[in-house]
Amino acid sequence: MKLAFSTLGVPGLPLVDVVRLATDHGYHGVELRAHPEEPVHPGLGPDARAEAAEVFRSAGVEVVGIAGYAKVAAPGPDAPVVEEIRTLIDLAVDLGAGYVRVFPGGKDSPSAEEADATAARRLGTAAEYAAGAGVRILLETHDSHRTGAAAIRVLGPVGHRQVGALWDVMHTWLGGEQPSESYAALAPHLGYVQVKDIASASDTTPLPLGAGVLPLAECVEVLSRHGWDGWLCWEYEKRWYEDAAPLPELLGAGHDHLARLLNDSA
C-alpha cells in the first residue's frame, strides 16, 4: 500500500510547501481539497492548473484524488450536481489525479430510498463523462451514507466501473460497522482509503494516528489479508478543528505508524 495525506490538514498551504512536506516525510501522494480557499479548485484557469500539476510532477509526488464537495443524494435538480462533478473531473484530468471524491449529502431527502435513487441516477449520468476522462468518481462513506452497507445501496444500482467508493474509516466505525464488514461491502468498488484517529465517538477532534480509538490496525490487517494494494490517505481534519495540533509536526510519526501497521500485517 502507498501512503498519502490530505491537504485538509494544512488548509491554504501553498503547493510547493505541500510537496515539501510529502517528500520530507516519505509520503508518495497527496489528496487535494478542492475549495476556493485552497490553492487548487475548479475555478483555476489553464495556466494555474498547468503550474500546479508541474509542482507535483517535478517532485515525483502523485495527486491521488481531488476531494470535492458535490452532494449526490441531496434534494434538488440533477443538472447542477452533475455539472459540479464534471468540473471536478476536468480538474482531476488537468492535475493528473485518478479519483474525484463526492459526498452523499442525503440527510434532507424525504426518505433513504429517494436519497439512494437520486445519488445512483446522478452518478450513473456522470459515469460516462468520467470514463471518457479516465477518472473514477468515489462516493465517500459519509453523512447520510456513512457505512459500507449504505454506500452499496447506491453503488450497486449504478454498476459502472468508473463509480466507486472512498472508505473513510471513521464514518464506518461511527456507523457501527466492523472493518471486516466495511471491507466486504466496499471491496468490489474500493478506490482508496482515508485513515484518521479521534478521541471518541462523541469527540471527533483529530489526533495523531494511533493515539485514538479508531481500529486502524484492523483496517490495515483486513486490507492486507485480501491483497488490496491501493492508497492509504491520512485525512487530518485540521480545517474544522482549530485547536488540533498542526499536521506538519505529526506527519513523520504518522508515516512511521502506518508503516508499522503495514509491516505487522504483512
**H/E run at residue 139:** strand 136-140
- Given a contact cutoff of 8 angstroms between Cβ atoms, the answer to whether 72 and 103 are in contact is yes
Q: Which three cell numbers stand for residue 252?
A: 513523520
C-alpha to C-alpha distances, 78 to 32, 101, 119, nearest whole angstrom:
25, 17, 9
The CATH number assigned to the domain holding 97 equals 3.20.20.150
User: Which of 35, 41, 10 has its CA nearest to residue 25?
Assistant: 10
Q: Which domain holds residue 57?
A: 2-265
Looking at the structure of the chain, the number of domains it has is 1
Q: Per-residue confidence of the chain (266 residues) as pLDDT tens digits?
A: 999 999 999 999 999 999 999 999 999 999 999 999 999 999 999 999 999 999 999 999 999 999 999 999 999 999 999 999 999 999 999 999 999 999 999 999 999 999 999 999 999 999 999 999 999 999 999 999 999 999 999 999 999 999 999 999 999 999 999 999 999 999 999 999 999 999 999 999 999 999 999 999 999 999 999 999 999 999 999 999 989 999 999 999 999 999 999 999 87
* Positive/negative CA dihedral, 27, 240, 10, 63: positive
* Positive/negative CA dihedral, 51, 52, 53, 54: positive
Q: Which three cell numbers stand for residue 53?
A: 500539476
pTM of the model: 0.97
